């Protein structure tokens, strides 16, 4: 499928002033941006593309290096793989669980629990998260994956006066929203999200298979139930190849 | 470092005195964003205090996110205005010219940039206008912007274009084109040295790359804007509602 596309789409212009590697890089980048090449697609072997374009293999290698530098592709055991990924439109337009958002991308979602423990936060610490007073929380730190690739790491603070004995029943790998609806009859009605672009600290980067300092979208979420109570504080970090869209309608 | 005053005859611990002097200097504007603080050794030498005290003072200020340490470069003041907007109000800086100042850097008409032509759905060698600019608040950059507009849609552009005019105003008021929606794609990238220079941050710091496609009536693309916001000083918020 991809080989077929490439035959038609990656070409170079020998009259143009710009070097071949820049031309190839720009062509592939545009094809990734408009989603002709999609997440986890494989680019052709450098020698095959070079043969097709009748140029030296080093031009293609150089183009691939430039694309890697810009985080559009990654070299893996499968070859040069597209890492660029866009979340579907509604992630920041509608209250969607990360688990469902990953599914909506056509990826197989899974959750790995890194840590879960009961903690008590002081009044000061609890207030920093938006809760009124000191209390006990179940703190969970989990990795969300698509097709077994880490995409997002998310910490949640669940107040145990609302979720009584949650530490006894919560396994750690189940989607959170469905769990609290089933066990507590509460549903995550509204979510207030604030996002930032940050450099990943090393202790988070290692779980996402990223280098320390890699760029990431970080988001804090305050989740409110049907009674307008704050029932969850969440802090997430994405891999650097994770993108999302938001639409402004005028 | 004359903003630090230590009185060794009083009970207040040395580290608290150092931290509060620096805090006050930041609050009063004596120290501003990206100013470098003295090294621990310099403070020790001048005030004859222990390095531990200076370390503790700096650590407290780092925890409060007032300063930060950059490997191999030193310790810097970090406080700076944060551009905080609703997702739906991304272009708020265009609506308040008193608060935000626009400086144009580049004006050009180009016909050989494949990626932009593809985004604007232009044929190869069809021309488009390029405007690059920096938007500042209190002399600190809020966003670095590249605006791309297809030449054939904007007749007499050189005559009608005014330096610093907002892209929304330009499209909808000057050219009377309806903008039906703006599709924004948000991604995190590391600042190159030129982006860092323009945004007054350090190279490799995270920045928001936000690409906006302006969609007109008939669903055609009437403009493409690439925005770079300094990650640490930009926040976007939204409240989303679950469908029952």
Q: Is residue B31 part of a domain?
A: yes
Query: How many CA within 13 A on the CB side of residue A134?
Result: 5
Question: Would you say residue B93 has pLDDT above 60?
Answer: yes
What is the secondary structure of B96-111 as a DSSP string? -TTT-EEEEEEEEEES
CB contact under 8 A, B231 and A196: yes
Q: For residues B7 and B14, give the distance between their C-alpha atoms in angstroms, rounded to a whole number.
A: 8
Q: For residues B15 and A92, give the distance between their C-alpha atoms in angstroms, rounded to a whole number.
A: 44
A203 CB-near residues (< 8 Å, 6+ apart):
none
Q: For residues B104 and B97, give the distance between their C-alpha atoms in angstroms, rounded to a whole number.
A: 14
Whether B228 and B202 share a structural domain: yes
B122 CB-near residues (< 8 Å, 6+ apart):
B116, B128, B150
Question: pLDDT by residue (tens digit) across A90-142?
Answer: 666 677 788 888 888 788 999 999 999 999 999 989 999 999 999 999 999 99
Query: Which pLDDT score is estimated for B64?
Result: 87
Whether B145 and B48 share a structural domain: no
Q: Is residue B9 part of a domain?
A: no
Q: Is residue B64 part of a domain?
A: yes
| Chain A nearest-CA residue for B182 | A248
User: Which residues are bridge partners to A191 per DSSP?
Assistant: A223, B240
Percent of chain B with pLDDT over 90: 77
Q: A2: pLDDT confidence band, cut at 50, 70 and 90?
A: low
Query: Which pLDDT score is estimated for B176?
Result: 96
Question: pLDDT by residue (tens digit) across B35-53?
Answer: 899 999 999 999 999 999 9
Residue carrying structure tokens 């592709």: A73
Angle between helices A57-69 and A20-33 (to 10 degrees): 50
Q: Which two tokens stand for residue B62?
A: 């780092």
Better-predicted residue by pLDDT, B239 or B151: B151
Q: For residues A43 and A58, give the distance between their C-alpha atoms in angstroms, rounded to a whole number.
A: 15
Query: Which pLDDT score is estimated for A87?
Result: 67
Q: For residues A125 and B126, give the distance between their C-alpha atoms in angstroms, rounded to a whole number.
A: 57
Q: What is the mean pLDDT of residues A218-230?
A: 94
A47-61, B66-80, B224-238, range with the lowest pLDDT: B66-80
Q: For residues B103 and A98, give the distance between their C-alpha atoms in angstroms, rounded to a whole number.
A: 40
Which residues of chain B have a CB within 8 Å of the CB of A249?
A: 180-181
Under a CB-based contact definition with an 8 Å cutoff, are residues B166 and B94 in contact?
yes
A135-144, B111-120, B186-195, range with the lowest pLDDT: B111-120
Q: For residues A14 and A22, give the distance between their C-alpha atoms in angstroms, rounded to a whole number.
A: 12
CATH code for the domain in which residue B46 is found:
1.10.10.10
Q: What is the mean pLDDT of residues B214-233?
A: 95
Q: Is the pTM of this model over 0.90?
A: no
Length of chain B: 244
Residues of B within an 8 Å Cβ radius of A: 87-88, 90, 112-115, 118-119, 179-190, 204-208, 229, 231-232, 234-244
Whether B102 and B63 share a structural domain: no
Residue carrying structure tokens 């599709």: B183
Q: What is the mean pLDDT of chain A?
A: 89
Whether B136 and B207 share a structural domain: yes
Query: Which pLDDT score is estimated for A66?
Result: 93
Q: Is residue B28 part of a domain?
A: yes
State which of B26, B55, B77 marks the end of a domain.
B77
Q: Is residue B52 part of a domain?
A: yes
Q: Is residue B33 part of a domain?
A: yes
Gyration radius from chain A CA atoms: 22
Q: What is the mean pLDDT of residues A162-173?
A: 94
Q: SS3 for B181?
A: strand
Q: What is the mean pLDDT of residues B9-38?
A: 91
Q: What is the mean pLDDT of residues A201-225?
A: 94
Q: What is the mean pLDDT of chain B?
A: 92
Would the ipTM clear 0.90, i.e. be above it? no
Number of domains chain B contains:
2
Taking phi over 0 as left and psi of -120 to 50 as alpha, with beta for the rest, A206 belongs to alpha
Residue B10 per-residue DSSP state: S
CB contact under 8 A, B118 and A246: no
Whether B110 and B212 share a structural domain: yes
State which of B77, B112, B130 marks the end of a domain.
B77
Query: Which pLDDT score is estimated for A16?
Result: 82
Query: Which pLDDT score is estimated for A3?
Result: 58
Question: pLDDT by residue (tens digit) across A12-42?
Answer: 888 888 899 999 999 998 888 877 888 888 9
Domain residues for B190?
A: 83-237
Q: What is the mean pLDDT of residues A61-76?
A: 91
Mutate to test the interface with A, among B94, B206, B219, B235 (most CBs of A within 10 A): B206
Under a CB-based contact definition with an 8 Å cutoff, are residues A74 and A32 in contact?
no
Q: What is the mean pLDDT of residues B14-41?
A: 91
Whether B91 and B115 share a structural domain: yes
Q: What is the mean pLDDT of residues A240-249?
A: 82
Buried b (16+ CB within 10 A) or exposed e, A12-27: beeeeeeebbbbbbbb
CATH code for the domain in which residue B182 is found:
3.40.1410.10
Q: A243: pLDDT confidence band, cut at 50, 70 and 90?
A: confident
Q: A7: pLDDT confidence band, cut at 50, 70 and 90?
A: low
Whether B131 and B186 share a structural domain: yes
Whether B197 and B101 share a structural domain: yes
Whether B163 and B232 share a structural domain: yes
A235-249, B93-107, B131-145, B224-238, range with the lowest pLDDT: A235-249
Whether B134 and B210 share a structural domain: yes
Question: Would you say residue A158 has pLDDT above 90?
Answer: yes
Percent of chain A with pLDDT over 70: 94
Whether B164 and B230 share a structural domain: yes
CB contact under 8 A, A29 and B206: no
Task: Name the residue among B179, B206, B238 with its Cβ closest to that of A197.
Answer: B206
Under a CB-based contact definition with an 8 Å cutoff, are residues B239 and A191 in contact?
yes
Whether B88 and B194 share a structural domain: yes
Query: Which pLDDT score is estimated for A1?
Result: 44
Q: Is residue B2 part of a domain?
A: no
CB contact under 8 A, B184 and A189: no
Q: Is residue B4 part of a domain?
A: no
Under a CB-based contact definition with an 8 Å cutoff, are residues A209 and A150 in contact?
yes
Domains contained in chain A, CATH given: 4-82 (1.10.10.10), 98-245 (3.40.1410.10)
State which of B77, B97, B131 marks the end of a domain.
B77
Question: Would you say residue A163 has pLDDT above 60?
Answer: yes
């Amino acid at each position: 499928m991809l080989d077929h596309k490439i035959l038609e789409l990656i070409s170079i212009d020998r009259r143009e002033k710009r070097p071949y590697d820049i031309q190839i890089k720009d062509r592939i980048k545009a094809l990734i941006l408009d989603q002709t090449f999609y997440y986890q697609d494989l680019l052709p072997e450098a020698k095959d593309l070079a043969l097709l374009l009748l140029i030296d293999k080093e031009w293609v290698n150089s183009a691939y290096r430039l694309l890697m530098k810009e985080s559009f592709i990654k070299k893996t055991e499968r070859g040069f793989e597209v890492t660029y990924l866009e979340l579907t439109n509604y992630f920041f337009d509608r209250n969607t669980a990360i688990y469902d958002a990953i599914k909506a991308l056509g990826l197989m979602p899974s959750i790995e629990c890194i840590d879960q423990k009961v903690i008590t936060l002081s009044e000061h610490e609890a207030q920093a998260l938006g809760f009124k007073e000191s209390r006990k929380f179940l703190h969970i730190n989990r990795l969300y994956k698509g097709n077994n690739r880490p995409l997002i790491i998310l910490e949640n603070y669940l107040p145990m006066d609302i979720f009584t004995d949650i530490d006894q029943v919560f396994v750690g790998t189940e989607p959170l929203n469905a769990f609290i609806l089933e066990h507590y009859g509460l549903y995550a009605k509204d979510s207030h999200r604030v996002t930032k672009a940050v450099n990943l600290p090393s202790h988070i980067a290692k779980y996402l298979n990223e280098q320390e300092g890699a760029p990431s979208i970080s988001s804090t979420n305050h989740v409110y139930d049907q009674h307008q109570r704050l029932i969850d504080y969440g802090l997430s970090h994405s891999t650097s190849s994770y993108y999302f869209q938001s639409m402004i309608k005028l | 470092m004359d903003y630090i005053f230590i009185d060794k005859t009083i009970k207040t611990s040395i580290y608290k005195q150092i931290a509060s002097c620096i805090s006050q200097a930041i609050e009063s504007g004596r120290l501003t964003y990206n100013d470098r603080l003295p090294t621990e050794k310099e403070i020790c030498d001048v005030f004859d205090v222990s390095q531990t005290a200076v370390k503790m003072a700096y650590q407290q200020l780092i925890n409060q996110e007032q300063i930060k340490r950059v490997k191999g470069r030193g310790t810097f003041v970090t406080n700076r205005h944060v551009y905080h907007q609703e997702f739906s109000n991304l272009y708020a800086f265009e609506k308040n010219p008193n608060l935000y100042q626009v400086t144009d850097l580049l004006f050009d008409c180009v016909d050989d940039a494949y990626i932009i032509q593809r985004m604007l759905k232009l044929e190869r060698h069809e021309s488009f206008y390029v405007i690059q600019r920096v938007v500042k608040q209190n002399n600190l950059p809020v966003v670095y912007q590249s605006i791309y507009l297809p030449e054939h849609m904007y007749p007499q552009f050189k005559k009608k274009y005014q330096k610093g005019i907002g892209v929304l105003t330009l499209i909808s008021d000057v050219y009377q084109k309806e903008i039906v929606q703006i599709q924004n794609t948000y991604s995190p990238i590391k600042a190159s040295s030129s982006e860092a220079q323009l945004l007054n941050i350090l190279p490799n710091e995270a920045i928001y790359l936000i690409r906006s496609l302006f969609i007109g009536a008939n669903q055609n693309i009437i403009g493409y804007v690439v925005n770079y916001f300094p990650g640490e000083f930009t926040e976007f918020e939204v409240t989303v509602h679950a469908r029952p």
